[in-house]
Structure 1
Amino acid sequence: MRSLVPVLIAATALVATPAVAKEKLAPEAQLAKLLEGRTAGEPQDCITLSSVSDSQVIDKTAIVYRIGGTLWVNRPTTGAESLNDDVVLVTKLPTGRLCSIDTVELHDRTSHFYRGFVGLGKFVPYRRAASD
């Protein structure tokens, strides 16, 4: 009977400890958190694709491109409802510049099948405020 006591105490501790699930933020809240501490600049028509070090899709909302310390937010004019974590962005540009008149194909992350496209809007730069 003595050997069961530690097991019962451990089992009770596991049941009594609430599981903490990471809550997923709404898309606008996720974007706001990403841009926290940054200030919007003047919207631009184009960015240089070869300078982009990272991109992130915000579900049904935006595509965020990172160039150096600047985050460039693009809210597509068409097709934004198709943006989610399960798509891969496929960009075909002969000029090397990504502009607000361009489209970006969406392909399924797993099957690689075509899932649609988004028509890009203007690119809004968000930079960290200069520290004093």
Structure 2
Amino acid sequence: MFVGNAGKTRALRQKEMQMSRWIAPFVLFGLVAGAQAASAPRPTGEAKLQAMLKGYTVGATTSCVPLAPSMESTKIEGIGMVYKRGRTLYVNRFDRGCPSLDSFKSIVTRTPSTQLCRGDIARVVDFITGIEGGSCVFGDFTAYQKAK
């Protein structure tokens, strides 16, 4: 009886070794992929903005832009907002930046008119929890036209 148990234990160990040979490469791949993703540098807000502006030429600066349902908006982390209307981008760099505006937050604005203007205040809100986390002040808007 004792010899039979030793045989089962040896067979069980062999199966465990075979399974670990199959599992080890997957675990190793996951660790390497995770380390590469963690070490890959995230583009800065400035780099994202420069990428968005490729193919556009700088235009006039204005203190207000009209708000319209057809305008698209994109946040630039820590810097400001970009509003797109047709072939024009309106770039707004918040006065003194906006360090609390990151990938997990959005802005909420209240304006008494149909325009967004220099000096308007944007509240920074965590879009998951709804908790307010600071505010930012709009600066001037610079227009960029899409090159033809």
Shorter-chain TM-score: what band? 0.7 to 0.9
Instruction: Give structure 1 stretches of 5+ with no counterpart.
Output: none
Quick one: higher RCO (CA 8 Å, sep 6+), 1 or 2? 1
Q: Which residue pairs with 2:111 in the alignment?
A: 93
TM-score, normalization by structure 2: 0.70
Q: Which residue pairs with 1:27 in the alignment?
A: 45
User: Could you list the runs of 4 or more consecutive aligned residues of structure 1 that deviate by over 4 angstroms after TM superposition?
Assistant: 18-23
Instruction: Judging by fraction of residues, say which structure has more helix.
Output: 2
Q: Counterpart of 1:97 in structure 2: which amino acid? A: Q
Q: Number of residues paired by the alignment?
A: 120
Q: Write the mapping of 1:1-132 to structure 2, written as runs, cut at 5 A.
A: 19=33, 21=37, 24-51=42-69, 53-78=71-96, 80-130=98-148
Q: Counterpart of 1:56 in structure 2: which amino acid? A: T
CA contact (8 A) 1:40 1:126 kept: yes
RMSD over equivalenced CA pairs, Å: 2.3
Q: In the superposition, relative to structure 1, how do residues 55 and 96 fare at CA in structure 2: closer, same or farther (>3 Å)? A: same
Q: Percent identity?
A: 31
Distance apart, 1:95 and its partner CA:
0.7
